[in-house]
Structure 1
Amino acid sequence: MAPEQQRTDLLPPDSLRSKQLGLSVSESPDLGRLGLQDSHFRMTLGELARTVIIAGGSLYYGGHLQPGGITNFLIEELHRYGRRDRPLKVCLAWTVHRAMSQDQIAEQKELLGLFGEIHFLSRDGDRLDGPVDEPVADDPSADESAHSLTGLRTYMTANTSARIVIGGKRAGFQGDMPGILEEVLFALERKQPLYLAGGFGGAALDAIRSLRPSYAEWFPPAQDAPAQDQRLLKGLERIEEAVAAEQWDGFENGLSEDENRLLAASYRPSEIAALVGRGMGRLIGA
C-alpha cells in the first residue's frame, strides 16, 4: 500500500471535528437484482457512520422516527461508538413531525439521549425551537409534502459541507423528484463534494450514470423495467443543468478517477467506508 493510502484510509481521531456531513440514503429497488439483502445495505450505513463519528464529525440525516427505520438503526450504531456529544442530527420535515404526537416525540428524544438531536423544521425549512404544540396533522396534501421536503433538503445542504449518497427510490416517493436526486442537486448547486456509492443501485446509480456514464456501465438497465417516473427524469435533467451552470459535478472529492469509479460500483461496506474516509482525509490535508 502506498504511503499516501496508509495516511488517508483511516481518518485520525478528531480530524472531522466541526465537519458536518450530509447522509442521503434510502432503500434501493435494485437490491434483489444485485443479489444483495437489506442487511448488506445496513452494514454499509454502519461502516459509514463509524468512519465519520470516530473521526469527530457529525451526520445530518433527514428521515422519520418510525421503529425499524434507518434513523433508529443509526441511533443503535451510535450507542456502539460511545460519543455523547450528539453527533447525529435528525432533521424532520414539517409534515413528518406534525404527524407525530407529543408523546411520540418525547419517546424519540429519550431514545436519542446524548447521541443525537432532532431538528424540527418549518414548512419552508427553517429550524424551529421545537415541535409545534398543536393537534396532530397527518394528512398533508401532495403539494405541502413536496414543499416541506424541499425545505428539509435545503436546510440540510446549508448546514453541511459534503454529502454521502447511497441507494434511493425511483418510485413511490413524495416530492418533486426522488429525495436522493434533490439532495444531489442541491449539493451540486453549492459546489459540495459528493461521495456517490453506486453498488446498491437505485437513484444514486442513476445520478452517477447522468454525471459520469462510464462509471455505471457495470450495471445496464433492465430490459423489462417499467416506464420511469417523469419526476425522476426531470430530476436527472435538472442535475445535468446544474453541472453545466456551475461547472462542478461533485467528483472533486479527494478521490482519484479510479477510486471514484470503484466507489460507483462497490457494494462492500468496508471498501465504501474506506474510500469515503480516504477522500475526506485528502480534502482535509489539502
Structure 2
Amino acid sequence: MTYNEVLDKRSIAVSTSESPDMPGLGLHKEHLRDAMTEIARHTLALGAKLVYGGDLRADGFSNLLFELAARYRRDTDSRNKLGVTNYLAWPVHILQKAEQLDQAAADLEGTAELRLLDIDGRDIDLKERHKLETHQPTEPEWAKGLSAMRHTMLAETHARIILGGRVDKFKGDMPGIAEEALYSLQAKQPLYVMGGFGGCARDVAEAIGVLEPNGVREWPGREKFNSFRGRKLNNGLSPEENRVLASTPYVDQAIVLILRGLTKAKLGSQGGMTA
C-alpha cells in the first residue's frame, strides 16, 4: 500500500552542532541529540527527506540521522525513497580513504545516501573518488569546498532548520550554521531558527531582529545579516511564532511550530519560495 504524506517530495535541510551556550543553559550534547531526534522523527514521519552536510564520525549527527531513517522507512509514492541525504564536502571526504567511503555507502544502501562533492560543489561518484589522492586540505580548500557544498544543498532543498552551532573553531569563512542561514535568507528559502540551545542560531535570530540582542557576540560575517532585519522568514509562521521558536527551551513546543510552519509555507520549489 502506498500513500502520500504532507511533506512528501520535500527535502528539508537541518543545520546543527554543539553550542557554546549550552552549559550555561543547563544543557548537554544529549539534549541536542534528543532535539535532532525529535525533528527527524516528525519530519520523516510526514514524508520529508532530511538533508545534512556532515562527516561520518561515529558519534556525529550524520549517524544519528542514518539510524532514524532506517527506523522510519516508509512506503510512499514519493520519488524520495531514501530518508536522508548526507553531503560530504570536498575537504571532508578527501581526508578519508576511498575504501572507507565505499563501505559507508554500502552500509547505507536502501536507507540513506552519501553525496560526495568536488571543490566546486559538483557530484563525484565513488569510482572517480578512487582516482583522487587522500590528503590534508588547505584552509582555502576548506573555505571553498564548504561554501560550494552549502550552495548545492540550498539548490536541492525546500526549507532549512537551524539549531545550536559553534561560533569559533570553525572551518571556512564564517560559522557553518551562519553561512547556511545566510544563503537561505538570500534565496528567500523558508528558514526555521530554533534558538533555545543558544549558539549561532540564537545569534542569527538576534541579528535579523527576531529577538532583541542580549549583548552582541561578534564572529566573522555577522554584519551580513543586518540587511535582513525585519524581513519575513517565508516560513509560514507569524512574527510572534518565530519569536517563540527562537527563544523557547522546550523542544516539543519548537517542533509544533516547525511542523506548523512547514505545512503552511510555500515549499513548491527547491532553493527558495514558489512564485
Q: Tell me the TM-score range normalised by the shorter chain.
A: 0.7 to 0.9
Give me the whole-angstrom Cα distance separating, in 1, the residues matched to 2:154 and 2:108.
Answer: 22
Structure 2 SS opposite 1:180: helix
Counterpart selection for 2:12 from 21, 30, 35:
21
Structure 2 CA distance for partners of 1:284 and 1:188, relative to 1, 3 Å: closer
Tell me the residue number matched to 1:63.
54
TM-score by length of 2: 0.87
Matched, 1:236 2:236: no
Tell me the residue number matched to 1:167.
164
Tell me the residue number matched to 1:140.
137
What's the offset of the Cα at 1:267?
2.6
Structure 2 SS opposite 1:65: coil
Counterpart selection for 2:65 from 61, 69, 74:
74
Q: Tell me, which stretches of 5 or more residues in structure 2 are unaligned?
A: 76-80, 269-275
Give me the whole-angstrom Cα distance separating, in 2, the residues matched to 1:162 and 1:113.
Answer: 25
What's the offset of the Cα at 1:13?
5.8
Give me the whole-angstrom Cα distance separating, in 2, the residues matched to 1:154 and 1:281.
Answer: 24
What's the offset of the Cα at 1:135?
5.2
Pairwise mapping of residues 38-49 of structure 1 onto structure 2 (< 5 A)? 38-49=29-40
TM-score by length of 1: 0.84
Structure 1 runs of 4+ off > 4 angstroms?
none
Verify the 8 A CA contact 1:100 1:136 in the aligned structure 2: no
Tell me the residue number matched to 1:262.
244
Q: What amino acid maps onto 1:189 in structure 2? A: Q
Structure 2 CA distance for partners of 1:285 and 1:30, relative to 1, 3 Å: closer
Verify the 8 A CA contact 1:259 1:275 in the aligned structure 2: yes
CA RMSD of aligned residues (A): 2.3
Tell me the residue number matched to 1:183.
180
Verify the 8 A CA contact 1:21 1:163 in the aligned structure 2: yes
Give me the whole-angstrom Cα distance separating, in 1, the residues matched to 2:119 and 2:255.
Answer: 34
What's the offset of the Cα at 1:285?
10
What do residues 192-216 of structure 1 show as CA deviations (whole Å, max 9, x unaligned)? 1110000000111110000115x24
Verify the 8 A CA contact 1:216 1:264 in the aligned structure 2: no
What do residues 65-90 of structure 1 show as CA deviations (whole Å, max 9, x unaligned)? 11111101111222222337212010
